[in-house]
Structure 1
Amino acid sequence: MLNYALLLDPSLPIGGFTRFYGLDERFRNGNLNSLQDLKHFMRDDWYPQITTLDGMAIKSLYAAIQQNDGWRIALIDKMLYTQHPSSQYVKKSRLSGQRLLKLTKALYPWLAFDQLEDTLTQYNAIGTLATVHTWINFLLGTDIEQTIHGYFATAVSFCIEDAFRLLNPPYEEKNPLIDHMTSELLTTWKKFNEPTPSLFQPHLFHSHQTSSYITQPPYMSHSSQLNASRPFSSSILFKRLPASL
């Protein structure tokens, strides 16, 4: 579904990982001249970022959804998009999440998304693709690791697509490189994820220039905190399938 959403508009940022690319800037600065440069960048800079931030965020979103914790869902969503302070980026991130929601509603009309949309509105979050992707896969009963692997695979694919657009290497090298780098990223994630952390650790974000409101959003009044502590009704996460299906 992430691939479908991006095919509709390839310019949209996907989840959090595009803020780590900077491929165009690297290319202009002369720091991206070959596929070998790309591999070094992905291994040295990008893998650590996407595993510690996006991968752990998705794990924590699963826990927050299971616990019906709307405030936590919004908090993690904010952590994903506040790494890039550009108002244009935030606007595009909001649009990308909305695009994926619209697509998924068309593909799975029996799933309920009101809770997610209400949560994002209540806490002034935007719904990055990572957040929406996680919510959808949770409703579909997808395993956490499968959800993370799908997100990573899409991230690698579009990172390499962007690099090929800039570098214009032989086309036949693209798919083998995507497969190889995806495998490497999943191996990196497996190593990072053992032993499995019980919950998302906020200290992982300290090196990513988090905003002060991450710990306590300024717009969150005492009454809204009380409302946030009230669990969702898990019975409305799904709508009944039509009898004809």
Structure 2
Amino acid sequence: MQDLEHYMRNDLYPQFTTLDGMAIKSLYVAIQQEDGWRIALIDKMLHTQRSSLQHAKESRLSGQRLIKLAKALYPWLEFDQLETILIQYSAIGTLATVHTWINFLLGNDVEQTIHGYLAAAVSFCIEDASKLLNTPYEEKNPLIERMTDELLTTWKKFDVPESAAFQRELLYRHWSSSYITQPPYMSRKSRLDEERLFPSPGLSKRLPASP
């Protein structure tokens, strides 16, 4: 269990904060601005940062399962636009992307969304490891609570104005790597495609947005 805690603090926490947390913040902005290309770019960035064949399969399946579950729980939510964006730009639909889309449509603000994602990530990691370690129930749950509080504290320390510059640099690096060859505003056809994805009135006008 001590090794698990060490692994989470040193390997997972940096990914959860500098990558997933900041990506969710950027996704909120992209959804509000109805920028399908940027949504796909962030999604691809999340995917390629953990590049392995096994992770690719798991990431796609996790996103698809979450969409399926959300459709069953909230049949009134709109997923056609997200699914069209993913197809148009050959994006994956990572867990963080789908999680953000759902929370945005439900009217949750960005910090609620990030906190929920981080808490779920910690719980999943410990639950998964506990199956192999055969961890007693009375040890597992306190560990989940303690590690969740620790991660949220880590996120609060990281989520400072300087982190915005870090996120811009990270996005630019992936933008220049040609995962998506050009943004939609570079061609008339792409602009028309975007208009079809987000018909008037816009998504942010029809659905509850974050403050």
Q: TM-score, normalised by structure 2?
A: 0.83
Say whether 1:47 aligns with 2:13.
yes
Say whether 1:213 aligns with 2:178.
yes
Alpha carbons 1:63, 1:199 under 8 Å: kept: no
Shift of 1:232: 2.2
Partner of 2:43 in structure 1?
A: 77
Alpha carbons 1:77, 1:125 under 8 Å: kept: yes
1:212 is matched by which residue type in structure 2?
Answer: S
Shift of 1:170: 2.7
Alpha carbons 2:41, 2:175 under 8 Å: kept: no
Alpha carbons 1:112, 1:236 under 8 Å: kept: no
Q: What stretches of structure 1 of length at least 5 have no aligned partner?
A: 1-34, 240-245
**What is the rounded CA distance, in whole Å, between the counterparts of 2:177 and 2:55 in structure 1?**
19
Partner of 1:31 in structure 2?
A: none
Report sequence identity in percent: 67
Partner of 1:20 in structure 2?
A: none
SS of structure 2 residue aligned to 1:109: coil
Q: How does 1:1-245 map to 2 (within 5 A)?
A: 35-195=1-161, 197=163, 201-204=167-170, 212-214=177-179, 216-217=180-181, 222-223=187-188, 225-227=190-192, 230=195, 232-233=198-199, 235=201, 237=203
Q: TM-score, normalised by structure 1?
A: 0.72
1:58 is matched by which residue type in structure 2?
Answer: I
Shift of 1:145: 0.6
SS of structure 1 residue aligned to 2:178: helix
**What is the rounded CA distance, in whole Å, between the counterparts of 2:118 and 2:66 in structure 1?**
17
Alpha carbons 1:68, 1:232 under 8 Å: kept: yes
Q: CA RMSD in A?
A: 3.0
| Bigger share in helix | 2
How many residues of Structure 1 are paired with residues of Structure 2 in the alignment? 203
**What is the rounded CA distance, in whole Å, between the counterparts of 1:210 and 1:172 in structure 2?**
46
Shift of 1:219: 10
**What is the rounded CA distance, in whole Å, between the counterparts of 1:205 and 1:236 in structure 2?**
25
**What is the rounded CA distance, in whole Å, between the counterparts of 1:193 and 1:125 in structure 2?**
27
SS of structure 2 residue aligned to 1:235: coil
Alpha carbons 1:82, 1:210 under 8 Å: kept: no
**What is the rounded CA distance, in whole Å, between the counterparts of 1:128 and 1:145 in structure 2?**
19
1:213 is matched by which residue type in structure 2?
Answer: S
